[in-house]
Amino acid sequence: MGKIAFVFSGQGAQFSGMGKSLFEASAAARGVFEMADAIRPGTSKQCFEAELAEISVTKNTQPCLFCVDLAAAEALREAGITPDFAAGFSLGEVAAVTFAGIFSPAEGFALVVQRGLAMQEAAEAVESGMAAVMKLDNAKVEALCAAHPGVYPVNYNCPGQLVVAGKKDALPAFLEEAAAAGGRAVPLNVSGGFHSPFMESAAEKLAEALEPLAPKAAAIPVYANFDACPYTPGREKELLTKQVKNPVRWQQTVENLIAAGVDTFVEVGTGKTLCGLIRRTDRNVRVMNVEDAETLAAAVQTLRG
């Protein structure tokens, strides 16, 4: 068998009750939620009981999803499943570097709390949104963005899917032109234009939050959203800061992991979004997700087999 990568979920797949069965099934997962509650009281309750509208607010979404991401990964490690590599999509990257030991769980969680607040504030300062553009190649979408000031390519998800961020008043004309060019453009239900220049103030605040931290050497290679390459010592703070206001190069990350020998991807955290993007990038690799006790047991059985 080839190598295994844990890939940590990003925003968008949150749901009411997330993480509860992991908490009940795994002592390691339970420890993640207890750590979070000590820093941000009520985080577990928010994950397990809050309505979707509440956990879809960015300042709540990010710490809650971080907990589920890290809890799923720690439950796998507790069961004897350890990856060769890690990567995370957007906020998932903070969970990935935490799992790899660059930051302690408490440091990573406190950081993602600050990240969520900073990104929500930045989103509220500029009326912006995001849309997924499909059925067009990247060069065409980039050219369309260049022709529409205030619209930027931000998430390079997989072949034929590129997410853009734009000012609310600039997106309609862009989406109309993308459709006319043969693409399919779907507005996303998000609160702002993430991974774009609209997040400059969030990046500045994240840099401040990172300043007192002392990153440690990663136990396994973690691939960064910013350049789709493994973290190197001394660049941890720079990469996490740049990530907030620059595109997520997910397709390239997946391709680089496959080139490094990965043939099994385990999405840890809510949903199967990354599983789908990985399948569209290379159908020859094996993908599975772990988000609850049932999927945890299935993944452990498969990976031990």
Sign of the Cα torsion 237, 241, 242, 244 reads: positive
CB within 8 A of 143, min separation 6: which ones?
none
Mind telling me the catalytic residues? 90, 195
In degrees, rounded to 5, the angle at the alpha carbon of residue 53 between the alpha carbons of residues 29 and 75 is 10
Compute how many other C-beta atoms are within 10 angstroms of the C-beta atom of residue 132. 16
d(CA 45, CA 238): 33
Q: DSSP character for 198?
A: G
Cα→Cα distances 253→2, 42, 226, 227, Å: 17, 34, 10, 8
- Strand-pair partners of 248: 155
Helix (H, G, I), strand (E, B) or coil at 283: coil
Q: DSSP character for 26?
A: -
Name the token pair of 198: 């609209």
